[in-house]
Amino acid sequence: MAHEVYHVVPRPDGGWAVEKPKADRASGLFDTQQDAREQAHEWSNGGVVYVHGLNGKIRKEQRND
């Protein structure tokens, strides 16, 4: 399976979303950033997970090599 890229982003309602670039909707919605990060790592299959802060800026990049 190919490596995937996912973004963990804050939602206006206070939750967190896991999104693929250029997707029309979120792949998943979560109550906490930690839950969203864990799921993004699982779905990325060794790819890259970009974690955004509350201001929307990327604050962390993680590779699952």
pLDDT digit string (tens) for 16-27? 999 999 999 999
Task: Read off the pTM.
Answer: 0.88
User: Are 19 and 58 in contact, with CB atoms under 8 Å apart?
Assistant: no
Which residues, including other chains, have CB under 8 Å from residue 8's CB and lie 6 or more apart? Answer: 16, 17, 18, 33, 36, 37, 40, 49, 50, 51, 52
- What pLDDT is stored for residue 2 in this prediction? 75
- What pLDDT is stored for residue 65 in this prediction? 60
Task: Identify the DSSP state of 14.
Answer: S
Determine which of 15-19, 20-24, 44-48, 59-63 has the lowest per-residue pLDDT on average: 59-63
Instruction: Grade residue 64 by pLDDT with cuts at 50, 70 and 90.
Output: low
Task: Identify the DSSP state of 42.
Answer: H
pLDDT at 30 over 90: yes
